[in-house]
Structure 1
Amino acid sequence: MPNKPYRKLGSALLAIVMGAAVVLSGCTGEAAGTDGKAASKDPSKSPAGTTASKKEKVDGGEIITFNLTEHQGWIKLYTTTLVSSEIQELVFNGLYRLTDLQDIVPDLAEDMPKSSSDFKELTVKLRKDIKFSDGHLLTADDVVFSYNIPISKDYVGSRKSTFEKLQKVDKIDETTVKFTFSEPYIGYYGMLTHQIMPQHVLKDVPVKELEKSPFFKQQPIGSGPYKLTEWKQGQYLSFTRNETYFKGKPSVEKVTIKVIPNSNVAMAQLQTGEINAGSVDGENLAVVKDYAKKSGKIKLHEGIATTSYTYIGWNNIHPLFKDKLVRQALTTAIDRQGIIDNVIEGQGVIIHSQTPPPFWNYTDKVPKFNYNEAKAKQMLVEAGWKPGSDGVLVKDGMQFAFELLVSQGNKAREKIATVVQRN
């Protein structure tokens, strides 16, 4: 039962709940927002406690936050989790980035890509003021190098399909590259957001060995706003700001991301001041809200719509789920509104696709499978599943039984899994 960012569209999904985050920050430490995912402490106080104008930009401080799962590594082509992608964005940039509303905007690129008349070529112009955190200039050579990895025959990572229409990428000059596709390809939206890596660091590492390289495991060098200072696997990652970042020095000096597999433990650390920013799930909302009110040490910001959703991905390779009618029946059998009301304290809404209403590509004209137990049972009958002697559905001698995998330590998802099982 994974969590997906709206920024990165995946395959069609069925049982989907869109969440609305409750963002908090501890007032005992400095915290400032990045992409709306962390809230700041009282802006009327400087880190030293002196009075400052509410409009004055406070420089310094540290965000201490947490993730429930471990970071996988530093090359996005070889990682698969949202946690890893968001951490990588502290260190790296792409030619373009996607906004919260799915619009593509320049990042390392100077402007939007220019398309050829047959839509098989895209030309991208780079900014001239970009350096990697080690001081080396970022040029067209680094772009060509980075995009030659996923189209290499030796690349076997999970993101290969994103680049399958890309035939080649050429350097036109030091700040210009040209992408050539086998056919007109709208998928460039996702492709052009991938991280640009330093050729001078990785040029001698064979593609087949990149996933085992020190760069992937411990020594990333990027052009992003932060630099990795330490990664203790299973414990924390710490970052310091990139003073020469091409978009300007970040306001927050340090970022620490703890690995805390249990959300209850994370909320306890918030109360003790060991972390100072993070999101609260429905499981802990009432307790944290009460603590914030009584202690005055936490600022709680409710009703912030997130760009993520929680879903169940039916394994279409599994014999039970190959039938589309069965997948639709299972979605119809799940009381998603009940999950929102009773598990996550109303902090979410049901959506019927992987696109939320604010996005430019949202449409309500999609199939809907609202909760209806009787209809779900009838759909399974139509799919050939009949109750056996023990009441369990049977078809061709096979019982309808399966395991639902859920991330350990996420109490809300564990409860959701129990509700789904009961449904």
Structure 2
Amino acid sequence: MKITKVVGLLTFVTGAAFVLTACNNNKNTNEKTVNTAALPKVVTNKRDIKKGGTYKIGISSNTPFAGVFLSELSNDSIDTEVSYPGNEELFKCDDSYTIVDGGAANLALDYKQNTATITINPKVKWSDGSPLVANDLVYSYKIIANKDSGSARYTDSLQNIVGLEDYHAGKTNTVTGLKTPDGGNGRKLVIQFTKMTPAMKQQGSGYILSNAAPYHYLKDIPLAKLATSDQVRKKPLFFGPYKLTKITPGEVTEWAPNKYYYQGTPNFNKVIISIINPGNVATAIKSNRFDQISVPNAEYKNVKNAKNTEFIADTGLSYSYMEFKVGKWDAVKGENVMNKKAKMANRSLRRAMAYAMNIDEVYQKFSNGLSFRIPTLILQKYGKFFNKDEQGFPYNLKKANQILDQAGYKKKGKFRQTPDGKDLVINFAAMSGEKHQEAIIRNYIKQWAKIGLNVHLVSDKLIEFNSFYDRIQNDDASIDMFIAAWSLTGEPSPNDLYNRKAPFNFSRFVGQTNDQLLEAIDSDKSFNTNYRKEQFDKWQTYMNKEAYVVPISSSYEITAVNDRVVGLSTTPSSDFFDVGFSN
């Protein structure tokens, strides 16, 4: 689907949706690339909307959705997409992802008092008719910070809230920095921070949550059982324009208008979101099975002339990456602990593997310009914070071999040994995706063999999406490295992904320089944009030098839309409430 407006959460991305969606069987390397500039960001149908009808959305995925319908506990993008008709964020944002007034709640920052005041629109109600109140905002922070919930979203950014660390440690049942001046059933929350950062004005900064949890509905459920409860899995509440009416586990969600929605009655009588195998997407588009469906890049040229269909596109806030395991998550300390003797702890080994990947060749040959290698972990879409001077890891086998030679990885027969003369076998995990995914993954394994590295695919096959991330999060000892993908937020700070205390820092690398640069990016000094850019640039250079995480690719996201649809847009400020049919 990919036109979700939930940009306040970092989420995992499926292999089908991202890592290798650009590949097809076309061997013609001279074929012209797709002119994405010719594709609009907004549907061109400007006719009047006629209320009613059933809006059908298809999500291309070869894995079912997990069905955790609570943002505080959900980690993957599929759950976000299948809940998007109801899962509205608290704050409205402009097309630069800057928070503005006019949403379910307004945000006011006081940089002198180190506070953020959230004021809820009095018209906002949950889909059961209960008002959205301050307790619902507070409960979101408590769910994430409480160890019993199992949330992976308790980060260094949230620890900036006064008293949240004590709550996380079990020292208190309240959070001193979360104040409800009009009481828990009031409509105001004042958050007291230890410091203010420029990131706070952006949607999804990590410092201020963009979601709420219905306290009245969830409060009696033990936090340890919340993720598996019926209130989260089967009968969740939302305050967006639609309410959830039916779930076919892993496959379909159905929605009807939320009669309590604060902006009024939405345009559709029903919304149905279905998971569809990537191999069936082209047929679905040509038969007009859905009103909206994401187009795998491999299929665009096959479906671009589909009747009664318009295509809209934009570069997404997502990227794929390769990461090397060099430590473990310490749940007691709440931080990553690095093992300097880990197999992949040698920087030369990591950098050589990055240079040996023929990423440009893969995308030039197969993507028609829809996917492309990225040089840093900060996307160009973030404008001035992207370091345009960084080249990343362009394909260079000669350089890769030189790096390994100089580091003492000598060949014994076909493959290299470690500098201390031991056999080296690298266990590589990759998630399942569209039909060409495995062929491309094995291509990379062959590339690494060209520089004398013996790389084995874990389990000798691609791993299903949910199982893949479960193994990565839990530091499966059989995995030395992996390729995965992130869906990002409107705030470019990488703090919540790569911080010492970030659960999502899956490589588990830590370092004083990394700590200092991430601190600088979100420091008081970074209210000076030039200073903040300088720190972003330094961090990108540092990350490429160390290569614990290697940037791979980003992609244009193309959506096929039925030509009767009005109001659908890829822009951050757009609202699904405004989407309807013209006939």
Please, what TM-score do these two structures have when normalized by structure 2? 0.58
1:122 maps to 2:116: yes
1:271 maps to 2:281: no
- The residue aligned with 2:302 is 287
C-alpha separation between the residues in 2 aligned to 1:257 and 1:223? 18
Deviation at 1:395, TM superposition (A): 4.2
Which runs of structure 2 are paired with 1:171-210 in the superposition (5 Å)? 171-173=180-182, 174-184=186-196, 188=200, 189-210=205-226
C-alpha separation between the residues in 1 aligned to 2:386 and 2:355? 22
1:404 maps to 2:404: no
C-alpha separation between the residues in 1 aligned to 2:97 and 2:350? 28
Aligned match of 1:245 in 261, 266, 291? 261
Identity of aligned residues (%): 22
Deviation at 1:39, TM superposition (A): 7.7
- The residue aligned with 2:140 is 146
> Does the aligned pair in 1 maintain the 2:72–2:140 contact within 8 Å?
no
1:390 maps to 2:406: no
1:381 maps to 2:405: yes
C-alpha separation between the residues in 2 aligned to 1:37 and 1:402? 43
C-alpha separation between the residues in 2 aligned to 1:135 and 1:170? 25
> Does the aligned pair in 2 maintain the 1:267–1:284 contact within 8 Å?
yes
Which runs of structure 2 are paired with 1:82-121 in the superposition (5 Å)? 82-96=77-91, 101-106=96-101, 108=103, 110-117=105-112, 119=114, 121=115
C-alpha separation between the residues in 1 aligned to 2:250 and 2:83? 17
C-alpha separation between the residues in 2 aligned to 1:342 and 1:19? 13
Deviation at 1:64, TM superposition (A): 2.8
C-alpha separation between the residues in 2 aligned to 1:154 and 1:382? 48
C-alpha separation between the residues in 2 aligned to 1:387 and 1:298? 59
C-alpha separation between the residues in 1 aligned to 2:180 and 2:8? 28
Q: Matched residue of 2:367: which SS?
A: coil
For 1:368, give the aligned amino acid: G
- The residue aligned with 1:371 is 395
Q: Matched residue of 2:414: which SS?
A: coil
- The residue aligned with 1:330 is 353
Deviation at 1:205, TM superposition (A): 1.2
Q: Which moved more, 1:348-357 or 1:131-140?
A: 348-357
Aligned in 2, Cα 1:67/1:10: closer, same or farther, shift over 3 Å?
closer
C-alpha separation between the residues in 2 aligned to 1:66 and 1:37? 21
Aligned in 2, Cα 1:82/1:390: closer, same or farther, shift over 3 Å?
same
Aligned in 2, Cα 1:17/1:152: closer, same or farther, shift over 3 Å?
closer
Deviation at 1:406, TM superposition (A): 2.1
What do residues 190-227 of structure 1 show as CA deviations (whole Å, max 9, x unaligned)?
24344212111111112122112111111110111221
Aligned in 2, Cα 1:142/1:58: closer, same or farther, shift over 3 Å?
same
- The residue aligned with 1:28 is none
Aligned in 2, Cα 1:101/1:404: closer, same or farther, shift over 3 Å?
farther
> Does the aligned pair in 2 maintain the 1:90–1:224 contact within 8 Å?
yes
> Does the aligned pair in 2 maintain the 1:92–1:196 contact within 8 Å?
no
1:213 maps to 2:213: no
Q: Matched residue of 1:321: which SS?
A: coil
Deviation at 1:298, TM superposition (A): 4.8
Aligned match of 2:49 in 51, 57, 72? 57
Where does structure 1 lack aligned partners over 5 or more consecutive residues? 21-35, 44-53
> Does the aligned pair in 1 maintain the 2:149–2:227 contact within 8 Å?
no
Aligned match of 2:126 in 125, 132, 138? 132
Aligned in 2, Cα 1:358/1:373: closer, same or farther, shift over 3 Å?
same
Aligned in 2, Cα 1:77/1:302: closer, same or farther, shift over 3 Å?
closer
Deviation at 1:264, TM superposition (A): 0.9
1:77 maps to 2:81: no
What do residues 283-328 of structure 1 show as CA deviations (whole Å, max 9, x unaligned)?
3233323xx3xxx525252653233223333334393433333333
1:421 maps to 2:445: yes
Q: Matched residue of 1:224: which SS?
A: coil
> Does the aligned pair in 2 maintain the 1:90–1:226 contact within 8 Å?
yes
1:257 maps to 2:273: yes
For 1:124, give the aligned amino acid: I
Q: Matched residue of 1:345: which SS?
A: coil
C-alpha separation between the residues in 2 aligned to 1:378 and 1:107? 57
For 1:140, give the aligned amino acid: A
C-alpha separation between the residues in 2 aligned to 1:255 and 1:393? 57
For 1:324, give the aligned amino acid: R
> Does the aligned pair in 2 maintain the 1:231–1:237 contact within 8 Å?
yes
For 1:346, give the aligned amino acid: G
Aligned match of 2:248 in 193, 210, 232? 232
> Does the aligned pair in 2 maintain the 1:76–1:88 contact within 8 Å?
no
- The residue aligned with 2:331 is none
Deviation at 1:367, TM superposition (A): 6.0
Aligned in 2, Cα 1:127/1:213: closer, same or farther, shift over 3 Å?
same
What do residues 57-90 of structure 1 show as CA deviations (whole Å, max 9, x unaligned)?
2323312312413222111222211122233443
Aligned in 2, Cα 1:285/1:351: closer, same or farther, shift over 3 Å?
same
For 2:48, give the aligned amino acid: E
For 1:227, give the aligned amino acid: K
- Equivalent pairs counted in the alignment come to 382
- The residue aligned with 2:374 is 351
Deviation at 1:8, TM superposition (A): 4.9
For 1:244, give the aligned amino acid: Y
For 2:181, give the aligned amino acid: I
What do residues 251-309 of structure 1 show as CA deviations (whole Å, max 9, x unaligned)?
3433222223x3112322333443342122233233323xx3xxx52525265323322
For 1:407, give the aligned amino acid: S
C-alpha separation between the residues in 2 aligned to 1:411 and 1:105? 42
> Does the aligned pair in 1 maintain the 2:288–2:308 contact within 8 Å?
no
> Does the aligned pair in 2 maintain the 1:9–1:354 contact within 8 Å?
no
Deviation at 1:415, TM superposition (A): 4.1
C-alpha separation between the residues in 2 aligned to 1:298 and 1:380? 55
Aligned in 2, Cα 1:89/1:10: closer, same or farther, shift over 3 Å?
closer
Q: Matched residue of 1:382: which SS?
A: helix
Aligned in 2, Cα 1:206/1:392: closer, same or farther, shift over 3 Å?
same
Give the aligned CA root-mean-square deviation in angstroms.
Answer: 3.4
> Does the aligned pair in 2 maintain the 1:18–1:349 contact within 8 Å?
no
> Does the aligned pair in 2 maintain the 1:352–1:367 contact within 8 Å?
yes
1:170 maps to 2:162: no
C-alpha separation between the residues in 2 aligned to 1:298 and 1:381? 58
C-alpha separation between the residues in 1 aligned to 2:356 and 2:402? 11
- The residue aligned with 1:307 is 317
